[in-house]
């Protein structure tokens, strides 16, 4: 890989050991994937923030890196942590909270924005054609597919290194020739509901591997439905972007896959792991809710109350919570918990006695049996809310 004189100085340790380690991570990655150079990035987004998923060994490295005094060189945001201060921060064991706070202090010392969201694209406008280094898989697919930005699916360490250096290796989705669709997916009959988009993503992730699809048969398109599709797609596969009908002309001569009602329904059934009709937790907000989703949920719950035996969590970013203040009041009035900075998947729901989670997110339904040791019920948003609300 070709390095500029300044990059060579960093690589050789002339600007300190911390930036040297970060540069060597990026060069090793570039060499592995055949990159010829590093390119500047507009922003970085780091996953592996929750202590639950991170653990102790990476935490020690983060603390040491932070003590070096090294700072981020570009706008750098963070994925959700394991608790919010107002609710879960008062219910979880203090030892777990303390370990999480140490991780957050390390990131703060390095200049990371205390965003704690899996939807960094809601925080500020991402320009078309921008090069990014994002590690949250759902955000990667969204940035490439919906926003027209360019980012590979970084690992936590490489996104961290890119934030410190301000650059990333030029390979993969950063190169226009690697962004071309190479498989056509025809969904028939067409789908229009959010849960169908979500299930389609899970199904396609399993069969596409890293292929880039053009998807036909998506009706009543919204950014939130596409967000669910991308999040699910990234959960079960390595596809980093997709195209959807009317965006590109159908490309001749490429492989075709047909997806019917049976595949969608079977996927939804597979992601429901229990026949228990009443969940302990109804969870909405994976990925974090948009302003439009908050408004929709508030309209449905207006004037109603949450059942005493069920918790309703709605997770979003601080940014969206501030913009939706009136709607948040409506939600909290009915007994819903509107949580920022975290989500059910990266906190210790098992510590709270939660054994069954009902959700409209296929990503949550896919991960919760393993990460939360919980049974799952995948259902449409309206059904989730109906289950949580008193009649």
Is there a single domain that holds both residue 170 and residue 185? no
pLDDT above 90 as % of the chain: 93
Is there a single domain that holds both residue 12 and residue 134? yes
Burial of residue 299, with CB atoms counted within 10 A of its CB: 0-12 exposed, 13-18 middle, 19 or more buried:
exposed
Residue with tokens 């957050």: 104
- The answer to whether the CB of 50 falls within 8 A of the CB of 78 is no
Q: Where are the beta strands (DSSP E) in the chain?
A: 38-40, 43-46, 75-78, 132-134, 167-169, 183-191, 213-218, 243-244, 255-259, 281-289, 311-316, 337-340, 356-359, 375-378
Is there a single domain that holds both residue 14 and residue 161? yes
**Within-domain flag for 53:** yes
pLDDT band at 251 (very low <50, low <70, confident <90, very high): low
Q: What is the structure's pLDDT at 55?
A: 85
Is there a single domain that holds both residue 137 and residue 193? no
Is there a single domain that holds both residue 169 and residue 263? no
Which one of 150, 175, 200 terminates a domain?
Answer: 175
pLDDT band at 56 (very low <50, low <70, confident <90, very high): confident
Instruction: Please give the Cα distance from 225 to 285 (Å, whole number).
Output: 12
- The answer to whether the CB of 176 falls within 8 A of the CB of 207 is no
Instruction: Please give the Cα distance from 35 to 159 (Å, whole number).
Output: 16
Q: What is the structure's pLDDT at 177?
A: 96
Instruction: Please give the Cα distance from 373 to 354 (Å, whole number).
Output: 9
Is there a single domain that holds both residue 57 and residue 152? yes
Is there a single domain that holds both residue 19 and residue 160? yes
Q: Whole domain around residue 225: which residue ranges?
A: 180-269
**Within-domain flag for 56:** yes
Strand order in 337-340's β-sheet? Answer: 337-340, 311-316, 281-289, 356-359, 375-378
- Give tens-digit pLDDT for 198-245: 999 999 999 998 999 999 999 999 999 999 999 999 999 999 999 997
**Within-domain flag for 274:** no
Is there a single domain that holds both residue 140 and residue 188? no
- The answer to whether the CB of 291 falls within 8 A of the CB of 323 is yes
**Within-domain flag for 352:** yes
- Residue 249 pLDDT > 70, yes or no? no
Cβ–Cβ contacts within 10 Å for residue 296, how many? 16
Is there a single domain that holds both residue 360 and residue 343? yes
pLDDT band at 250 (very low <50, low <70, confident <90, very high): low
Is there a single domain that holds both residue 227 and residue 106? no
Which one of 175, 199, 229 terminates a domain?
Answer: 175
pLDDT band at 46 (very low <50, low <70, confident <90, very high): very high
Q: What is the structure's pLDDT at 276?
A: 81
Q: State how far the alpha carbon of 308 is from the alpha carbons of 79, 184, 294, 312, in Å.
A: 31, 47, 22, 10
Burial of residue 383, with CB atoms counted within 10 A of its CB: 0-12 exposed, 13-18 middle, 19 or more buried:
middle
Backbone angles phi, psi at 307, to 5 degrees: -60, 140
- Give tens-digit pLDDT for 301-340: 999 999 999 999 999 999 999 999 999 999 999 999 999 9
- The answer to whether the CB of 23 falls within 8 A of the CB of 169 is no
Which one of 269, 291, 316 terminates a domain?
Answer: 269
**Within-domain flag for 63:** yes
- The answer to whether the CB of 141 falls within 8 A of the CB of 50 is no
Q: For the whole model, what pTM was predicted? A: 0.96
Structure token digits, residue 104? 């957050």
DSSP secondary structure of 115-167: ---S-GGGTSPPPTT-BEEE--HHHHHHIIIII--B--B--HHHHHHHHHHSE
Please count the structural domains in the chain. 3
Q: The domain spanning residue 292 has which CATH number? A: 3.30.499.10
Is there a single domain that holds both residue 234 and residue 262? yes
Is there a single domain that holds both residue 33 and residue 98? yes
pLDDT band at 57 (very low <50, low <70, confident <90, very high): confident
pLDDT band at 246 (very low <50, low <70, confident <90, very high): low
**Within-domain flag for 276:** no
- Residue 359 pLDDT > 70, yes or no? yes
């Amino acid at each position: 890989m070709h390095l500029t004189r300044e990059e060579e100085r960093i690589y050789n340790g002339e600007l300190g050991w911390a930036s040297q380690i970060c540069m060597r991570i990026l060069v090793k990655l570039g060499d592995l994937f055949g990159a010829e150079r590093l390119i500047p990035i507009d922003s970085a987004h780091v996953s592996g923030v929750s202590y639950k998923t991170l653990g102790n060994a990476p935490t020690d490295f983060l603390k040491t890196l932070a003590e070096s005094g090294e700072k981020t060189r570009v706008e750098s945001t963070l994925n959700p942590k394991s608790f919010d201060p107002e609710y879960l921060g008062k219910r979880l064991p203090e030892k777990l909270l303390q370990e999480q706070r140490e991780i957050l202090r390390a990131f703060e010392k390095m200049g990371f924005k205390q965003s704690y969201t899996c939807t960094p694209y809601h925080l500020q406008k991402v320009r078309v054609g921008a090069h990014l280094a994002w590690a949250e898989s759902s955000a990667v697919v969204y940035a490439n597919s919906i926003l027209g930005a360019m980012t590979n699916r970084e690992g936590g360490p490489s996104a961290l290194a890119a934030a410190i250096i301000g650059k990333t290796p030029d390979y993969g989705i950063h190169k226009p020739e690697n962004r071309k669709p190479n498989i056509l997916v025809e969904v028939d009959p067409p789908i229009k509901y959010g849960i169908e988009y979500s299930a389609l993503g899970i199904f396609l992730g399993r069969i596409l591997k890293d292929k880039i699809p053009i998807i036909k048969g998506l009706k009543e398109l919204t950014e939130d439905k596409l967000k669910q599709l991308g999040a699910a797609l990234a959960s079960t596969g390595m596809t980093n972007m997709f195209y959807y009908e009317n965006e590109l002309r159908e490309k001749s001569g490429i492989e075709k896959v047909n997806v019917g009602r049976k595949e969608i329904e079977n996927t939804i059934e597979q992601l429901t792991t229990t026949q228990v009709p009443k969940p302990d937790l109804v969870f909405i907000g994976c990925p974090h809710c948009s302003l439009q989703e908050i408004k929709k949920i508030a309209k449905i719950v207006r004037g109603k109350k949450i059942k005493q035996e069920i918790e309703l969590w709605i997770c979003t970013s601080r940014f969206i919570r501030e913009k939706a203040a009136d709607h948040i009041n409506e939600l909290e009035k009915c007994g819903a918990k509107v949580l920022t900075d975290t989500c059910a998947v990266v906190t210790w729901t098992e510590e709270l006695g939660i054994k069954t989670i009902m959700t409209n997110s296929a990503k949550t339904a896919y991960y919760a049996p393993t990460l939360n040791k919980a049974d799952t019920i995948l259902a449409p948003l309206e059904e989730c809310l109906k289950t949580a609300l008193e009649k």
